[in-house]
Each structure stands twice: as C-alpha cells, then as structure tokens.
C-alpha cells in the first residue's frame, strides 16, 4: 500500500501518524528537528510543548474537558501519554513536559509501521500527505503552501494589543460608555479616550514614524514572494493601518460612532479600552495590536488622552503563527478542496490549543487511513467539540477568521435551552456531544 507522508512531528503530526499506522497504513513521519530549529522548540523530541505545560480543564462540563472525553473515546495516543505524565494541577490536565514528549517519542518510534525521518520537507510532496507543520512551519514549506493555495491564503503573524493598569488611566479625561449608550455613560462597559482633531493628527503622525521591532528571520519569507497574506486583514497592527491614510484609524479601530464625550459632542476619534481580567484592574486597548518597540509604545500610547501616565502591564507584540485560509481551502474532513489526498492538521488549520491540535491530528490520520483503504473520509457531527472546531475553521467568514480553540460558542444551539443557566447549558452541551459521537460511531460501524 502507498505510504502516507506526514510533515511535522508535533502534537497533530504525532497523533495523526499513530492513528493512521494503527489502522494499517505505512507512515513516513518527517520532523525537521534537530537539524533545523523552529526558534521555539528546544529538544528533538516529538510532541514537544513549546510553552505552557497545561492541556486545559479536565472537567467534563468544560469545553476542553468535552474535547478530552471525545479524544478518550476515539483512542488518542497523545491524551493517553498526557495522562500518564500528569502532574497535580487541580481540575486541569498539566503534564511533566519532558516525560510527556519522551513517552510520545518512544511510542511513535517503536511503532512497526512508522518511519521517522529527520529532515525538512521543503515542498508538499505528491501522494497522500498530511501537513501538520504547525505555527512555525519552515519558510520553504510555507512558500510551497502559499503557491498551492494562492497568495493571500496564508497568514504569518498574529498581533496582540497592550494592556494597561486601570488605576493609571486618567478618568477626568477618559469616560465610561458603550457605543450608542449615551445618557447612561456611567454604566458603559468601555473606557473611552477621546481625541480632538489636532490630538488625533499628532498621534497618527507619531505612530507612523515610531520605531518598530524588526521581524528578523520572518522577513526572508516575506521578501521571497509570500507577501500578500503576511498579516490578518482583521488584525492589522495600528501602525500599518495608520500608514494607509491619515483618517484610516478614525474609520477603523478609533471610530467614534455611537459615542458622545462629556461635552455631549462626538469626539473626532476614540481609543476604547476593554476590561481584561475578572478583577477589573486591567484593560486592553481594543484593536490596538502593534509591533512597535516597547519604549515607543510607552511614548506614543501616552499621547492618548487619558493615558498620559498609563502603566503598561503587557506591551503589544507580534508572534509568528502560520496558518492557512481554511474557510477557502479545506473541507470539514480536513481534506484540501482541490486535492483529496492532501490533509492539513494542527495549528496550521487555524485550530488553537494543544488538545484541539491533537484532535485535528487524530481526525486527519483517521481520514487518511479511510481514504487509502477505499472508504470516504468522515465529517464529525458539528454537535461534537471536534466536529464543531473543524466546522468552524472551514466555514468561518474569512474576513474575521481568527484561530479558534474549543469553546461552547461554536456548538449549534441546544433545543429549548432558554431556561437553563450557564452551567446546566454546559452540561447539556457536553452530554449531547458524547451522545452524538456515540451514535455517529455506531452508524459508521454498521454502514
Ligand atoms: C511560542 C509559542 C507558544 C505557544 N504556547 C502555547 C500554549 O501555551 N498553549 C497552547 O495550547 N498552544 C500554544 N502555542 C500554540 C502551539 O504551537 C500549538 O498549540 C501546538 O504546538 C500546535 O501543534 P502542531 O502539531 O500544529 O504544531 P507543533 O507542535 O509546532 O508541531 C509542528 C512540527 O512540525 C515541524 N516542522 C515545521 N516545518 C517543518 C518542515 N518543513 N518539515 C518537517 N518538519 C517541520 C516542527 O519542527 C514541529 O515539530 C504556542 C505557539 C508558539 C509558537
């Protein structure tokens, strides 16, 4: 039988390799580490966790707990290894990261049908392939993916907005209001920093000329022709918007519509701040993702009326996050729309979170095995958490397409759930997900 090629031995690729091999396929798993580094991974182990050691909640009525229950039912290797490497962490599943990655590596290495090849794959090969190369996909492979999908269908960066200490906002200048809630301004959810025209013009000009952080190694990819999709259109850094035209911000993240200042007039522009933590002492600057140097953020953002003395508890930053425009190019079975033996899995599909990435790896490996044994690839019910994640990333509106992790908001509404409180709704969603998965598995077994 034809060998299945899997690119990337991270969370998704390792799970995919195991699932396909367990279903009888011969698998060639390519992992570029340790020859080539991603800049975030530190070892040559498969399934290395690059940051947190937590896989999220284990509670059965939390979104992440529902996903784990589905993965248990579907026989996930990585969840099994995580549970064998668990550390005390209350209701969460946290792991000894070294022990976890070693366990996964040993299980994959000792599988008789999996061959691990420590090489970078620079181009998407012919034949059955799963691309699971993650948010730090190598530049050459990124270019090959961009060539397949068309420029503008591969995103490179995510940007985050700064957060300020609420106690340092000057509320003599800033005011509370939600849009269109004039008259009850004290009740508004947002803190609004109003600009008159002169303040706005000075601010925009400072933004345009402020120093930015060099994007270093990523620039190579950008300069070599995959420029169009570099940023999410919906998540552009403010300094990039500012350069598009002097009023671009006033019609974008700084639009004042629906707001009246203390003088009862609409300001020329507004920066809105939204509560960022439960305690209400941190506020983020809405839509103000940025790549300015930290010292420049302090200088320029203190020009915002009301933030003259603001303390920044987190600066805006950009980080690399390569992912494809799944709503345009992928089916819910994780197959490519123009090539049915090409699958994508993991963070590169726009699914976020360790468990979600393991889960898409599981489905891609399962579906690749089905395809190569003459069966149709599966689309899971959208009422299951995994089905909902795959549905979301392949059906979202591309203009607002953001990486998405497991949450109840992506499940279809429950019938007659109006009377349920939040916790009961979560339980009902969790129960429905597992029931529907069971029914689905019975159906495909009997087909
Ligand atoms: C800095 C950083 C911090 C993060 N922190 C968290 C966190 O705390 N919690 C969380 O849930 N998520 C976090 N993420 C997202 C995280 O990366 C994913 O949740 C998860 O690792 C993605 O799994 P994956 O299998 O898609 O990618 P990865 O686990 O990154 O695996 C992809 C693998 O492909 C390999 N590879 C890349 N290109 C090639 C190539 N051309 N040929 C061969 N091999 C290749 C890489 O070396 C890597 O081993 C973080 C991401 C980054 C970049």
pLDDT at residue 234, as a whole number: 55
Residue nearest to atom 27 of ligand 1 (CA): 134
> What 8-state DSSP symbol labels residue 113?
T
pLDDT at residue 227, as a whole number: 39
Backbone angles phi, psi at 93, to 5 degrees: -100, 95
Helix (H) or strand (E) holding 143: helix 139-149
Ligand 1 binding pocket mutation candidate from 133, 143, 155, 343 (most atoms within 8 A of CB): 133
Instruction: Specify whether the CB–CB gap between 15 and 78 falls below 8 A.
Output: yes
* Tokens describing residue 248: 């671009």
Residue nearest to atom 10 of ligand 1 (CA): 353
Q: Ligand 1 within 6 A of 133 CB?
A: yes
- 4-153+325-446 and 158-316: identical CATH topology: no
* Tokens describing residue 130: 């799963």
* Tokens describing residue 1: 């039988």
- Tell me: domain 4-153+325-446, CATH 3.40.50.1860, correct? no
pLDDT digits (tens, 9 = 90+) for 295-319: 999 999 999 999 999 999 889 877 7
Whether the predicted pLDDT of 334 surpasses 60? yes
pLDDT digits (tens, 9 = 90+) for 343-362: 999 999 999 899 999 999 99
pLDDT digits (tens, 9 = 90+) for 244-274: 999 999 999 999 999 999 889 999 999 999 8
Whether the predicted pLDDT of 277 surpasses 80? no
Whether the predicted pLDDT of 162 surpasses 80? yes
Domain boundaries, the chain: 4-153+325-446, 158-316
Q: Ligand 1 within 6 A of 19 CB?
A: no
pLDDT digits (tens, 9 = 90+) for 37-65: 987 888 999 999 987 788 999 999 999 99
Whether the predicted pLDDT of 218 surpasses 60? no
Whether the predicted pLDDT of 418 surpasses 80? no
Tell me the whole-structure pTM to 2 decimals: 0.77
CATH class, range 158-316: mainly beta
Whether the predicted pLDDT of 123 surpasses 80? yes
pLDDT at residue 413, as a whole number: 87
């Amino acid at each position: 039988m034809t060998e299945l090629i899997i690119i990337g031995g991270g969370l998704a690729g390792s799970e995919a390799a195991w699932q396909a091999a367990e279903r009888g396929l011969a698998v060639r798993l390519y992992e570029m580490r340790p020859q080539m580094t991603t800049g975030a991974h530190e070892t040559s182990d498969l399934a290395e966790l690059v940051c947190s050691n937590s896989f999220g909640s284990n509670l059965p009525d939390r979104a992440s707990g529902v996903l784990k229950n589905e993965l248990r039912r579907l026989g996930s290797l990585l969840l099994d290894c995580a549970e064998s490497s668990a550390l005390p962490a209350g209701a969460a599943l946290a792991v000894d990261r070294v022990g976890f990655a070693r366990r996964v590596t040993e299980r994959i290495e000792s599988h008789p049908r999996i061959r691990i090849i420590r090489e970078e794959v620079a181009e998407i090969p012919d034949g059955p392939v799963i691309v699971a190369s993650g948010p730090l996909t190598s530049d050459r492979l990124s270019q090959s993916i961009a060539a397949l999908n068309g420029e503008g269908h591969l995103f490179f960066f995510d940007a985050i907005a700064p957060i300020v200490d609420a106690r340092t906002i000057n509320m003599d200048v800033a005011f509370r209001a939600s849009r269109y809630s004039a008259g009850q301004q004290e009740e508004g959810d947002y803190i609004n920093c109003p600009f008159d025209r002169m303040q706005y013009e000075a601010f925009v000009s400072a933004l345009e000329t402020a120093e930015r952080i060099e994007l270093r190694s990523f620039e190579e990819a950008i300069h070599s022709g995959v420029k169009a999709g570099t940023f999410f259109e919906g998540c552009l850094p403010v300094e990039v918007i500012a350069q598009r035209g002097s009023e671009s911000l006033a019609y974008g993240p700084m639009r004042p519509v629906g707001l009246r200042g203390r003088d009862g007039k609409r300001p020329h522009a507004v920066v809105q701040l939204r509560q960022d933590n439960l305690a209400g002492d941190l506020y983020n600057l809405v839509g103000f993702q940025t790549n300015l140097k930290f010292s420049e953020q302090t200088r320029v953002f203190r020009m915002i009326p009301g933030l003259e003395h603001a303390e920044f508890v987190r600066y805006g930053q950009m980080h690399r996050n390569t992912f494809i425009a799944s709503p345009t190019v992928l089916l819910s079975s994780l197959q490519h729309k123009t090539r049915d033996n090409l699958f994508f899995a993991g963070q590169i599909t726009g699914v976020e979170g360790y468990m979600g990435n393991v889960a898409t790896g599981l489905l891609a490996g399962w579906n690749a095995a089905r395809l190569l044994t003459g069966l149709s690839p599966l689309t899971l019910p959208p009422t299951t958490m995994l089905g909902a994640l795959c549905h979301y990333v392949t059906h979202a509106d591309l203009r607002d397409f953001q990486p998405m992790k497991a949450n109840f908001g992506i499940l279809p509404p429950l019938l007659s759930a109006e009377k349920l409180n939040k916790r009961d709704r979560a339980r009902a969603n969790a129960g429905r997900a597992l029931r529907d998965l069971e029914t689905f598995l019975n159906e495909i077994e009997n087909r």
